[in-house]
Copies of this chain bind each other. A is one copy, B any other.
Amino acid sequence: MDFDRSILSFLKQPLLDKVLAESSIKVFPKGAEILREEQYVKVLPIVLEGIVKVYSRFNDKELLLYYIQPSQSCVMTFYASLKNTPSKVYASIEEEAKILLVPVRLLPKWLKDFPDLNQLFYDQFNLRYSELLDTIGHLLTDRMDKRLYEHLKNKVEIMNGESIKMSHNQIANELGTVREVVTRVLKKLEIEGKIRQDSGEIKLI
């Protein structure tokens, strides 16, 4: 159980002890798929380190829904587990992640014994809903150049890095568009002096 306890500060004693006693910790490598659509869920993941990406797929198009950062959980998984319904989304590891796996069979009891825990999930639900609303707003009103630029800006912030190492194709997927469009728009952003690309890296300016 080697991790920074302050990450779980949202869990008060004595709940924290109970959770830790029943849970396990696992490290997942970059790129690992941890949740497939239609999958039934048996553990609730709480991210301790790293970044998890949650996305949806429509026909052949994908769309990034949100990132789960340390001390956040996947509220979609929570609900799916609570109701024992299959997940509607996918999750994969964006940056190698250490994840606390909480067995869901104990959740109902904990929610009863520690009602404050509900707050946590309400907050997450609300957060994700708000993000989705923003996404819709962007889809509806912004053109690709703005969407792409905001996406990149958001990405470097969340990864708290300098640059982005992704293929144009991957980026296109996250935005629900196609490679050529990304290539073209990136070039345009480069000419406008907003980004710089070299050797497969994209740097914001």
Please provide the chain A residues from 127 to 166 with a CB less than 8 Å away from any CB of chain B in the complex. Answer: 128-130, 132-133, 135-137, 139-141
CA distance A56 to B58 in the complex (A): 23
A-side interface size class:
20 to 34
Least CB separation from A79: chain B residue: B126
Do B128 and A129 have beta carbons less than 8 Å apart? yes
Do A122 and B88 have beta carbons less than 8 Å apart? no
Indicate whether A56 sits within 8 Å of B132 (C-beta atoms), given known contacts A79-B122, A121-B122, A122-B79.
no
Least CB separation from A175: chain B residue: B140
| Closest CB in chain B relative to A118 CB, distance in Å | 5
CA distance A118 to B112 in the complex (A): 10
In the complex, A28 has a CB within 8 A of chain B: no
CA distance A61 to B63 in the complex (A): 22
Least CB separation from A59: chain B residue: B141
Residues of A within 8 A of B (CB): 56, 58-59, 61, 63, 65, 76, 79, 82-83, 88-89, 111-112, 115, 118, 121-122, 125-126, 128-130, 132-133, 135-137, 139-141, 176
Q: Give 10 pairs: A residue, B residue, CB < 8 Å, sorted on A.
A: A56-B133, A61-B141, A65-B133, A76-B129, A79-B122, A83-B126, A128-B129, A129-B129, A132-B132, A139-B140
